[in-house]
Amino acid sequence: MTALGHDRFDVVGHDIGTWTGYALAADHPERVGRLAVVEAVIPGLVPSPPVFSPAAVNQKLWQFGFNRLTELNEELVRGRERLFFGWQFATKAATPAAIPAYAVDVYVDAIAADPRALRASFAYYRALDETIAQNEQRGKTRLTLPVLAVGGALWSGALATQTMRLAADDVTGVVLDDCGHYPAEEQPERFTQILEDFLGGEPVAGVPHG
Q: What is the CATH number of the domain that holds 30?
A: 3.40.50.1820
Q: What is the pLDDT of residue 52?
A: 86
- Considering the domain boundaries, does residue 118 fall inside one? yes
Same domain, 155 and 124: no
- Tell me the pLDDT tens digit for each residue of 146-204: 999 999 999 999 999 999 999 999 999 999 999 999 999 999 999 999 999 999 999 89
Same domain, 164 and 188: yes
- Considering the domain boundaries, does residue 3 fall inside one? no
**pLDDT reading at 49 higher than 90:** no
Same domain, 66 and 116: yes
Q: Can you tell me the distance from the alpha carbon of 55 to that of 57, in angstroms, rounded to the nearest whole number?
A: 5
Q: Residue 191: what are its φ and ψ, rounded to 5°? A: -65, -45
Which of 76, 110, 128 corresponds to the end of one domain? Answer: 128
Domain coverage including residue 98: 55-128
Q: Can you tell me the distance from the alpha carbon of 1 to that of 37, in angstroms, rounded to the nearest whole number?
A: 19
Determine the 3-state secondary structure of 152 from DSSP.
strand
DSSP lists the bridge partners of residue 37 as 13, 149
- Considering the domain boundaries, does residue 189 fall inside one? yes
- Tell me the pLDDT tens digit for each residue of 80-137: 999 999 999 999 999 999 999 999 999 999 999 999 999 999 999 999 999 999 999 9
Average pLDDT, the chain: 94
- Three-state SS across 6-53? CCCEEEEEECHHHHHHHHHHHHCCCCEEEEEEECCCCECCECCCCCCC
Q: What is the pLDDT of residue 191?
A: 97
- Tell me the pLDDT tens digit for each residue of 16-39: 999 999 999 999 999 999 999 999
Q: What is the pLDDT of residue 36?
A: 98
Same domain, 184 and 150: yes
